[in-house]
Amino acid sequence: MGRKSIGYLFILIVGLLLAIGIPGFMESSEARYAAIGYEMFSSGDYLHPYLLGIYHFHKPPLTYIITALGYSIFGVNEFGARFFLVVAYAIQLLLVYRINLLLFGNAKQSRLAMIIYAGFPIVLISVLNLTTDAYLNTFFMAAVYFYICYYQKKNYSSLYLLAIMLGLGVLTKGPVVFLPFGVFIVLFQSFLKPKWKWTIHHWMALILCVFISVSWFAYMVGTVPKLWEYFIGYQLKDRIFNAEVFHRAEPFWYYLILAPLLIFPYSVPLIFGVFKNRGTRNALAKVFIAGALIIIFIFSLFSSKLILYILPSSLFFASFIAYKLNTHPKQLKLLIHTMTWELYILIGGGVLFFLFSALFIPAALLSVFLLGFLCCRFKGKKWSFGVLNLWFVPTLMALFVCFSLAMPSKLNSYRELFGWISKSYPSQRILVIYDHLIPSAELYSNKKVLTIHDRRFQSLREIQFEDVVPVNYYDLNKTEDQQRVRNFNDNKVLFMVKKKDIEFVPAYLSDHFKYRKERNGWYFYSN
């Protein structure tokens, strides 16, 4: 990798490190991972995930452990929680470069693939938003890289590293890591037809992969036998075939609409490349475009759909687009021209949006950004794709950061609200939240948080694995919990109710409070 590539990588990483600590945790997914990581960090128990004091077995523990490590280094804050996402992003960029260099032997094209991958909105979303997906994608890409190393060099150490990467992928998000990797292997074997023999090393690598993959699951099932049916029946089968259980069902065409937006602004050269790819003799180009489309098709068949599920297709899209742009220079010039005008629209549109919203500070910041871009554009004699992308990626980051600071409620962040609660109600040590599960509540309020479930699926907790009745969760559909909730010491309690839910609150929960305040669509009851 040349100096330009290293410099480009350095600038992107520094920009991300400056950005990741600014937005608050977004509910509910990101805040959930941040809160579970915080409980691991606080308790020192890195095997049992807890969310607000109750077991939470939706995912294996590796993402939570990495988050807890970030807290131990940088403190309990947004930067600490997201720091290792930036590390994962840097590793991904290096892997994109190395994978393309190994397969095509073209440094220019490999650098192009890395630059394209760095600017995909779906990739940036995964880095700015704490979930399992960025880590899963890193392990998947590392597995692809080590497979290619083994294929080219027949180095058995690469085979064992491949097994470790897949095992860590399972400990990140379960067996889903095998889906994109399996697609790549099938296509690679079909189009390139590599020859290899099964040896003792393959068996040992397989055993190593299985051992790492099942280690945490086997331990947990051994200590809590109910988890076997929970992992297989509820978490695996229902997520694929019955997403209504998780309220995540989306139509088949969901990804067909989102995919062009998630790889913006490269959708046009991708479509151009697909049509031009007909009749191409390059087998690797076929592997990449077929791999990306098959992954999207398979996840479209699943009933549960979230944006970042198709993140592994980004490697294939970036590699295919880079190949096409490198072999069609006129298309690269068109892309540079298109991206320039898209930047004008993005930054100018952001300035106008904040001006019309009477948010003058973010409007001023973006105006400075726009002026800098214009100066560089008209002063520069040569406007290369790499330089343009150095503006494009920070522009997306700047828009996200400005929007998160100006309108945190639109991104579902409660940092500002809980900061106000801490200052306004210092004597109330217990925060009771009616029919909403807000994982970031303890992180931001420094109070003991109790959740009351009534009607909403989102506030329902899984307490079947608890040895004793939870003291921080109440289900009003159970008579015994209705009685327990009446025993609060009201002088220590702050009762929090969403304004639109006020008509459903039982009188015995709210009538004995003397004071009520309203803020950001919530009512707060206290004595």
81-113 per-position pLDDT tens digit: 999 999 999 999 999 999 999 999 998 899 889
Q: Tell me the pLDDT tens digit for each residue of 261-302.
A: 777 777 765 666 555 555 566 888 889 989 999 999 998 888
Residue 427 in any domain: the answer is: yes
Residue 459 placed within a domain: yes
Mean pLDDT computed over 197-217: 92
- CA distances in angstroms from 255 to 236, 261, 311, 312, 491, listed in the order given: 20, 10, 11, 13, 50
For residue 275, being part of any structural domain is answered with no
- Same domain, residue pair 224 and 144: yes
Q: Are residues 116 and 21 in the same domain?
A: yes
Residue 200: its pLDDT value, please?
Answer: 92
Do residues 232 and 88 both lie within one domain?
yes
- pLDDT score, position 349: 80
Q: Sheet of 448-453: strands edge to edge?
A: 473-475, 448-453, 430-434, 493-498, 522-526, 515-519
Q: Please give the mean pLDDT across all residues of the chain.
A: 84
Percent of the chain with pLDDT over 90: 37
Using a pLDDT cut of 70, give the percent of the chain over it: 91
Query: Of 243, 261, 294, which one is at a domain's C-terminal end?
Result: 243
* Among 215, 243, 271, residue at a domain's last position: 243
pLDDT tens digits, residue range 455-507? Answer: 888 888 888 888 888 888 899 988 888 888 877 766 788 999 999 999 898 88
Q: What is the pLDDT of residue 119?
A: 84
503 half-sphere exposure, CB direction, 13 A CA radius: 1
The pLDDT value recorded for residue 240 is: 57
Q: How far apart are CA 417 and CA 413, in angstroms?
A: 8
pLDDT digits (tens, 9 = 90+) for 12-47: 888 889 888 888 898 878 999 999 999 999 999 999
Say what the pLDDT of residue 345 is.
78
pLDDT value for 209: 96
Q: Distance (Å, rounded) from C-alpha 116 to C-alpha 317?
A: 9
Q: Give the model's pLDDT for residue 482.
A: 83
The residue among 191, 214, 243 that closes a domain is: 243
User: Can you give the residue range of the structural domain that contains 473?
Assistant: 414-526
**pLDDT value for 248:** 57
Q: Are residues 388 and 424 in the same domain?
A: no
**10 Å Cβ neighbour count for 363?**
19
244 has a pLDDT exceeding 60: no
* Cβ–Cβ < 8 Å for 482, 507: no
pLDDT tens sequence across 347-370: 788 778 777 777 777 777 777 777
pTM: 0.89
Number of structural domains found in the chain:
3
Q: Compute the distance between CA of residue 230 and CA of residue 58 in angstroms, rounded to an integer.
A: 9
The predicted pLDDT at position 411 comes to: 77
Q: Residues 102, 27: one domain?
A: yes
pLDDT above 70 for 379: no
Domain match, 195 and 75 both:
yes
Residue 234 in domain: yes
Distances (CA, A) of 50 to 42, 345, 462: 11, 44, 11
129 and 84 in one domain?
A: yes
Q: State whether 108 and 12 are in the same domain.
A: yes
